[in-house]
């Protein structure tokens, strides 16, 4: 890719004179902050966006990629962060979808299964291709996505945050398979914020900042600290100064025998009990889909259909509205920032104050106190280092990291006693992630109780004072001595290989 320019209709320069060279049989990292232009560059390569200037040279020939289908026909495949599989279909049906072998007018299912088995065998992927996708774990779903691309003869494979939802064991397995793909001559673009993984698996790395390439480096010759500095333009501390813990006497969150079924009647939270005091961060690790989302929805009042008892600061929330629960000084950082965390079509200012319109500081008898709101908005934008044109800019126009900062600023500005943070740094750059993690520690040190649900094990280990592993709606393991827990041990609990019957330290009373 030579001198790629991409300017959107709103004047945002997403890619400015970016060049990217890929070698056959290499794993090439693409890293940068959210909004740095990585996604746009990959959309250009995969035919989702057309460049305004620049050339794409494929195997020595100048080419134009008009659509994803065109990219696939030219040997380029992409595995998106959010998988694009049809849950009700089998693995084989997903792999051959759109290019299925036919018997007359109909799909030849025997040949389809055989073709799927052959491609899985060729690349040493141990998968039952007759299973429905809805029945398989996340790590296997990712393999299906990779096989889909390989079945379509992908020589260049784009992987977007491929380890975001994997356990340590699944990550190691993925790396083994990526090395095998590399040996077979495939080129892999590895988009990630996890610098240690880039050091482990990648040959070279192209680093982007503010729509420009900061250069391509041999991974063996560059440190993680230097990579992070090139990404954000300043030194970023990748480690945290975690102060000695000072627990309060008060239990801010008390959960007893909590049982939750989803809309289909499937048991998602199974007789769960735990306590959370002020001055601590309790981490919950686990593979996605093991009841974490249902637990958070119930604790924050979004789901009222549950059995058991939930008390926040001594108040049973069984008959409480979301506003009542908020009034107990609860802050909620939701998992999906765009769906549940903000209103993308509203301004930064409107989002920052969407939970404070009843506050006497900002609301008069008949009208909102506009000057006070504007002044406080500017303070929060500065304090949380939100990159924007003005407080009137629509949140949807910001990068993922800055959208997350708006949500965090809104939630933290109310002075909470209890914070529920669900995947607070997922898919955001190292600078924004470090900022948010530092704030969580500051609130913990100030006597706040923090429940942290995260798939990022580095985050879980570095922030948690106590640590639970959730598997099939239960705590499969609970650790009070987090420093002495290994990733392998945690991963075995996450996969259900290990399950502790006695959970010491999960409750205070």
pLDDT value of position 239: 62
According to the model, what pLDDT value does residue 296 have?
95
Mapped to the 3 state alphabet, what secondary structure does 358-394 carry?
A: CCCCCECCCCECHHHHHHHHHHHHHHCCCCCCCCCCE
Per-residue pLDDT of the chain in tens (509 residues, 90 and over written 9): 999 999 987 677 889 999 999 999 999 999 987 678 888 899 999 999 999 999 999 999 999 999 999 999 999 999 887 788 998 999 999 999 887 778 777 878 888 899 999 999 888 888 899 999 988 877 888 889 999 999 999 999 999 888 877 778 888 888 999 999 999 999 999 998 788 899 999 999 999 988 999 999 999 999 988 998 888 776 655 566 788 889 999 999 999 999 999 877 889 999 999 999 999 999 999 887 789 989 999 999 999 999 999 999 999 999 999 999 999 999 999 988 877 888 888 899 888 887 777 776 777 677 777 888 888 888 999 988 888 888 999 988 887 778 889 999 999 988 999 999 998 987 777 778 888 999 999 999 999 999 999 988 888 999 999 999 999 999 999 999 998 898 888 888 988 888 888 888 888 87
**Chain centroid to CA 310: how far?**
27
Residues 6+ apart with CB under 8 A from 112: 92, 93, 96, 100, 101
d(CA 285, CA 167): 10
Q: Are 428 and 458 in contact (CB under 8 A)?
A: no
- Would you call 370 exposed, middle or buried from its count of C-beta atoms within 10 A (0-12, 13-18, 19+)? exposed
Sign of CA dihedral 330, 335, 340, 345: positive
- pLDDT, one tens digit per residue, over 209-265 is 889 999 999 999 999 889 988 887 766 555 667 888 899 999 999 999 999 998 778
Distance (Å, whole) CA 428 – CA 387 = 14
Beta-strand runs (E) in 383-499: 418-422, 449-453, 466-471, 474-479
Beta strands in 162-266, from DSSP E residues, in sequence order: 187-191, 204-209, 212-218, 251-261
CATH, domain range 251-494: 3.40.50.300
List for the chain the helix, strand, coil content (%; round to 5). Answer: 35, 25, 40
CA dihedral of residues 371, 376, 377, 383 (deg, nearest 10): 150
* Class of the CATH-defined domain 2-232: alpha beta
Give the pLDDT score at 235: 60
pLDDT at position 23 is: 96
**List of residues 6+ apart from 176 with CB closer than 8 A:** none
At residue 321, the 3 state secondary structure works out as coil
For residues 238 and 47, give the distance between their C-alpha atoms in angstroms, rounded to a whole number.
35
> Rounded to the nearest 5 degrees, what angle is found at the Cα of 75, between the Cα atoms of 71 and 77?
65
In sequence order, the β-bridge partners of residue 53 are: 5
Instruction: Please determine whether the domains at 2-232 and 251-494 fall in the same fold group of CATH.
Output: yes
Residue-by-residue DSSP string for 92-119 = HHHHHTTS--EETTEE-HHHHHHHHHHH
Q: Are strands 76-79 and 61-63 parallel, antiparallel or unpaired?
A: unpaired
Distance CA 190, CA 188 (A): 6
- The pLDDT of residue 229: 85
Question: Would you list the domain boundaries of the chain?
Answer: 2-232, 251-494
403 in Cβ contact with 341 (< 8 Å): yes
What does the angle CA 179 – CA 180 – CA 182 come to, to the nearest 5 degrees?
65
């Amino acid at each position: 890719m030579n001198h790629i320019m991409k300017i959107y209709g709103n004047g945002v320069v997403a890619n400015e004179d970016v060049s990217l060279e890929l070698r056959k049989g290499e794993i090439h990292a693409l890293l940068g902050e959210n909004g740095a232009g990585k996604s746009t560059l990959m959309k250009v390569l995969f035919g989702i966006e057309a460049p305004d200037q620049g050339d794409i040279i494929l195997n020595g020939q100048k080419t134009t990629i008009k659509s994803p289908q065109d990219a696939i026909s030219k040997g380029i495949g992409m595995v998106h962060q959010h998988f694009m599989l049809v849950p009700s279909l089998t693995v084989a049906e997903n792999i051959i979808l759109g290019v299925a072998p036919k018997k007359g007018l109909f799909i030849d299912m025997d040949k389809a299964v055989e073709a799927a088995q052959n491609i899985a065998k060729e690349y040493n992927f141990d998968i039952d291709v007759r299973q429905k996708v809805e029945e398989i774990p996340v790590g296997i779903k990712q393999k299906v996505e990779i096989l889909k691309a390989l079945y379509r003869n992908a020589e260049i494979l784009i992987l977007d945050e491929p380890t975001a939802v994997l356990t340590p064991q699944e990550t190691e397995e993925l790396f083994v398979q990526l090395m095998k793909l590399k040996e077979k001559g495939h080129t892999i673009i590895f988009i990630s914020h996890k610098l240690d993984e880039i050091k482990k698996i990648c040959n070279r790395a192209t680093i982007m900042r503010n729509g420009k390439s900061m250069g391509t480096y041999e991974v063996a010759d560059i440190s993680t600290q230097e990579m992070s500095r090139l990404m954000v333009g300043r030194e970023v501390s990748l480690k945290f100064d975690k102060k000695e813990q000072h627990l309060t006497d008060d239990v801010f969150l008390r959960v007893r025998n909590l049982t939750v079924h989803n809309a289909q009647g499937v048991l998602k939270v199974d007789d769960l009990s735990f306590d959370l005091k002020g001055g601590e961060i309790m981490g919950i690790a686990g593979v996605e889909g093991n009841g974490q989302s249902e637990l958070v929805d119930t604790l924050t009042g979004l789901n009222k259909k549950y059995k058991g008892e939930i008390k926040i600061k001594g108040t049973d929330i069984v008959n409480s509205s979301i506003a009542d629960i908020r009034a107990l000084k609860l802050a909620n950082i939701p998992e999906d920032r765009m769906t549940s965390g903000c209103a993308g079509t509203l301004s930064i200012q409107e989002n920052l104050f969407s939970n404070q319109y009843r506050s006497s500081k900002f609301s008069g008898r008949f009208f909102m106190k506009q000057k006070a709101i504007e002044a406080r908005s500017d303070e929060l934008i500065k304090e949380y280092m939100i990159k924007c044109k003005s407080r009137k800019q629509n949140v949807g126009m910001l990068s993922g990291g800055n959208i997350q900062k708006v949500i965090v600023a809104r939630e933290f500005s109310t002075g909470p006693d209890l914070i529920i943070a669900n995947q607070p740094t997922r898919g955001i750059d190292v600078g924004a992630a470090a900022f948010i993690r530092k704030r969580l520690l500051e609130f913990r040190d100030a006597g706040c109780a923090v429940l942290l649900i995260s798939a990022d094990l580095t985050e879980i280990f570095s922030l948690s004072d106590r640590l639970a592993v959730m598997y099939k709606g239960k705590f499969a393991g609970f650790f009070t001595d987090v420093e002495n827990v290994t990733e392998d041990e945690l991963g075995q609990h996450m996969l259900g290989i290990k399950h502790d019957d006695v959970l010491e330290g999960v409750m205070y009373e």
